[in-house]
């Protein structure tokens, strides 16, 4: 085992006795799930309201396509809204919405029910039928969540497309799903200024080859800017939905009815639409939101900082939290608009108790300096979470100390668009968490780490990097790729077809205690002179250096070693770039933590890294820069100009 991993394995953070005593999920949950897995999942499913109770938990006879609770019927929107109102909680705030320019709204569960009912009535008026697809291309405003829930209420399958994606990306997703309706806004705010959005829809579905499936475009007025219009096709939300009746009775649908399609980011060629269904998906998102975030209905104020354009927004802004009667913050804007204090001001304003964000944002906060969070009262926070990529131990500790004041458990969650819900995570009242480790599969989830021959890897072995696989079906698992079941089988089930394992595409290892360390995508594992070294490990070593706020590592072609490690680093605020001296100390830090074989060949100090709008670093572009190639598509970057600064390196 590397020195770095050995040292990390020794440090663990146990929950306080006070937190452990009140935790929703206790250690007995593991044993309960182990003793009778199907009974465990049936119990979780019965946390929901079923119009028709199920009698069969799992049908795995057509593996790898699962059927969960297949003979049961439910309505997802009813579970997220109506039942809370009927139980007398209509006056509880469901959404504290904070707009980027500073406007805000509060929607109670009664308000949300009325809005969803109005939208459902108007979508019915448009002639949409259960099973029809609806594309949603909207910023983070309440109407986006209302639109998703209205689709779920009617059995319409929604396809949310991130509002930062290009018109061509939107068109490919509309065409693949044959969407009949597009719901959008006139525009969105970007760093305080209105930017058009409806125009992108027009570009996507109009022109010389109009999108054949689209019948209507429903537009929410957000910015008030001039908006292109096509009579007969385009309709205003405020002239239609807001005028509709607020009375609507939810109908039940089969548990396996398709709830949504979500196209995976970074798709090349034909879009890859991941299919999620209703009963199993809602069961696992609801269970995990309750168990992992220790959510207390009516007491907590929960904030997931994701966008609904990503699966995290689907599962942990819309369906998981609302099914559990959460009061949550939904924020429209960026973390530094109008300034770097914005997130901390929002936490203070609403008394946020549970905060769930991405490691890349935590590292950004680190770069800005702790004097910003230190200027705010964060004492309401009681639980912190991370999602999206492995978190560097240094960033974990900073988050624990600066946000959590050393007392808040951190749930480092591993899951994917394809898994639908959290799969590996600490249980906050049970687990002694190790910074940088997702720790263990949740009760009810079964995973393995295997080598090329599908043999289980040993705990704590030096060369024990392996493939992370899921070896038993789980309720929120993807049911296919829209319109291409062969691609579904080839992509996720062919690597270990003989064993019947789902291959997640991620590398992982066990430490000597059996804790799981996710190493990132296997294509982010470098082969340096025959040694497999993960980019995540090298990045962690670099971020552990006192001068480094953020790092991205890639493997570049090298005639001698096959691949060579090239690093791009951002310095912490106030650190002076002393050139070769600083670079040498960084290389030494990597050698100390991992070994000399992992020392980067080149380290470039840069002002920023190329990131997509979901916060992921585009390592492909860094590889192009390092190898002197022409750069590929940069349309999904937050700031394409960043690439120009890298070219100068």
CA distances from 509 to 53, 332, 492 (A): 40, 37, 20
Cis (ω within 30 of 0) for the bond into 64?
yes
pLDDT at site 266: 37
DSSP H or E segment with residue 548:
strand 548-558
Q: What percent of the chain has pLDDT over 90?
A: 77
HEC readout, 185-203: ECEEEECCEEEECHHHHHH
Residue 200 or 192, more confident: 200
pLDDT at site 613: 65
DSSP H or E segment with residue 116:
helix 109-125
Residue ranges in 215-319 assigned as alpha helix (H): 237-240, 279-292, 311-313
What's the number of CA atoms in the CB half-sphere (13 Å) around residue 1? Answer: 20
- 143 has pLDDT over 90: yes
Closest CA to 198 of 137, 141, 135: 137
644 and 620 Cβ atoms separated by less than 8 Å: no
- Section 23-37 average pLDDT: 98
| Cα–chain center distance at 243 | 34
pLDDT at site 627: 83
Strands laid side by side in the 480-481 sheet: 234-236, 216-220, 181-185, 133-137, 157-160, 258-263, 273-277, 480-481
HEC readout, 319-338: HHHHHCCCEEEEECCCCCCC
Q: Sorting pLDDT into bands at 50, 70 and 90, what band is 639?
A: low
pLDDT at site 360: 85
- 145 has pLDDT over 50: yes
- 47 has pLDDT over 60: yes
- 617 has pLDDT over 90: no
Q: Sorting pLDDT into bands at 50, 70 and 90, what band is 3?
A: very low
Give per-residue pLDDT as tens, 215-233. Answer: 999 999 999 999 999 999 9
Distance from first CA to last CA of the chain, Å, rounded?
34
Give per-residue pLDDT as tens, 68-117. Answer: 999 999 999 999 999 999 999 999 999 999 999 999 999 999 999 999 99
Extract the tokens encoding 106: 């509060």
The packing angle between helices 109-125 and 142-154, to 10°, is: 60
Closest CA to 5 of 400, 358, 435: 435
Say which residue the tokens 């044959």 belong to. Answer: 178
Give per-residue pLDDT as tens, 469-504. Answer: 999 999 999 999 999 999 999 999 999 999 999 998
pLDDT at site 108: 98
What's the number of CA atoms in the CB half-sphere (13 Å) around residue 36? Answer: 6
Strands (E), 26-163: 58-59, 67-68, 73-74, 93-98, 104-108, 133-137, 157-160
What structural domains does the chain harbor? 529-647 (3.30.300.30)
Around Cβ 237, how many Cβ atoms within 10 Å?
23
Give per-residue pLDDT as tens, 566-578. Answer: 999 999 999 999 9
pLDDT at site 4: 45
Residue ranges in 337-467 assigned as alpha helix (H): 342-350, 359-368, 371-374, 393-398
The average confidence (pLDDT) of the chain is 91
Whole-prediction pTM value? 0.86
User: Which of 159-173, 230-244, 363-377, 415-429 shows the lowest per-residue confidence on average (mean pLDDT)?
Assistant: 159-173
- 156 has pLDDT over 50: yes
pLDDT at site 8: 44
Strands (E), 197-282: 216-220, 234-236, 253-254, 258-263, 273-277
């Amino acid at each position: 085992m590397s020195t770095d991993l050995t040292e990390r394995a020794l440090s663990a953070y146990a929950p306080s006795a006070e937190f452990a005593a009140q935790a929703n999920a206790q250690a007995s949950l593991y044993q309960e799930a182990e003793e009778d897995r199907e009974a465990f999942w049936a119990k979780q499913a019965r946390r929901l309201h079923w119009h028709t109770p199920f009698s069969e938990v799992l049908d795995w006879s057509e593996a790898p396509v699962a059927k969960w609770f297949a003979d049961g019927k439910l309505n997802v929107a009813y579970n997220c809204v109506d039942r809370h109102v009927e139980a007398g909680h209509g006056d509880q705030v469901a959404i504290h919405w904070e707009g980027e320019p500073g406007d805000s709204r509060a929607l109670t569960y009664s308000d949300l029910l009325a809005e969803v009912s109005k939208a459902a009535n108007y979508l019915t008026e448009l002639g949409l039928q259960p099973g029809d697809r609806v594309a949603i291309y909207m910023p983070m405003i309440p109407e986006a969540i209302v639109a998703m829930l209205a689709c779920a209420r009617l059995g319409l399958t929604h396809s949310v497309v991130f509002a930062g994606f290009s018109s061509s990306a939107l068109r490919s997703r509309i065409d693949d799903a044959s969407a009949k309706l597009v719901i959008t806004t006139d525009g969105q705010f970007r760093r305080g200024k209105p930017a058009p959005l409806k125009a992108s829809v027009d570009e996507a579905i109009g022109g010389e080859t109009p999108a054949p499936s689209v019948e209507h475009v429903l537009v929410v007025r957000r910015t008030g800017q001039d908006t292109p219009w096509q009579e007969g096709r385009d309709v205003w939300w405020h002239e239609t939905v807001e005028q509709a009746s607020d009375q609507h009775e939810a109908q039940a649908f089969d548990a396996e009815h398709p709830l949504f399609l979500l196209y995976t980011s970074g798709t090349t060629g034909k879009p890859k639409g991941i299919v999620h269904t209703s009963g199993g998906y809602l069961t696992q998102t609801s269970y995990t939101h309750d168990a992992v975030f220790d959510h207390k209905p009516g007491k907590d104020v929960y904030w997931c900082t994701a966008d609904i354009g990503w699966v995290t927004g689907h599962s942990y802004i819309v369906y998981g939290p609302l099914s559990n009667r959460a009061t949550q913050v939904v924020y429209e804007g960026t973390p530094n608009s109008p300034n770097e204090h914005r997130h901390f001001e929002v936490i203070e304003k609403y008394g946020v108790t549970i905060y769930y964000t991405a490691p890349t944002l935590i590292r950004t906060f680190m770069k800005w300096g702790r004097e910003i969070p230190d200027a705010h009262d964060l004492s309401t926070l009681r639980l912190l979470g991370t999602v999206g990529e492995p978190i560097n131990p240094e960033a974990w500790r900073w988050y624990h100390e600066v946000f959590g004041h050393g007392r808040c458990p951190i749930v480092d969650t591993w899951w994917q668009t394809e898994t639908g819900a959290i799969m590996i995570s600490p249980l906050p009242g049970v687990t002694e968490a190790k910074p940088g480790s997702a720790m263990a599969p949740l009760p009810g989830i079964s995973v393995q780490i295997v080598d090329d021959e599908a043999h289980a890897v040993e705990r704590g072995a030096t060369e024990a990097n392996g493939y992370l696989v899921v070896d038993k079906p789980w309720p929120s698992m993807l049911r296919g790729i829209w319109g291409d079941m062969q691609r579904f089988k080839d992509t996720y089930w062919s690597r270990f077809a003989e064993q019947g394992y789902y291959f997640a595409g991620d590398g992982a290892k066990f430490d000597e205690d059996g804790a799981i360390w996710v190493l990132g995508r296997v294509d982010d594992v470098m082969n340096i002179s025959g040694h497999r070294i993960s980019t995540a490990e090298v990045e962690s070593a670099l971020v552990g250096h006192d001068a480094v706020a953020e790092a991205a590592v890639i493997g570049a072609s090298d005639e001698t070693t096959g691949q060579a490690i090239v690093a791009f680093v951002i310095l912490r605020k106030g650190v002076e770039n002393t050139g070769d001296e600083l670079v040498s100390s960084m290389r030494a830090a990597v050698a100390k933590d991992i070994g000399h074989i992992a020392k980067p060949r080149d380290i470039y100090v840069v002002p920023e890294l190329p990131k997509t709008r979901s916060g992921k670093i585009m390592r492909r572009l860094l590889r192009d820069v390092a190898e002197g190639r022409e750069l590929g598509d940069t349309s999904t970057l937050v700031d394409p100009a960043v690439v120009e600064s890298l070219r100068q390196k």
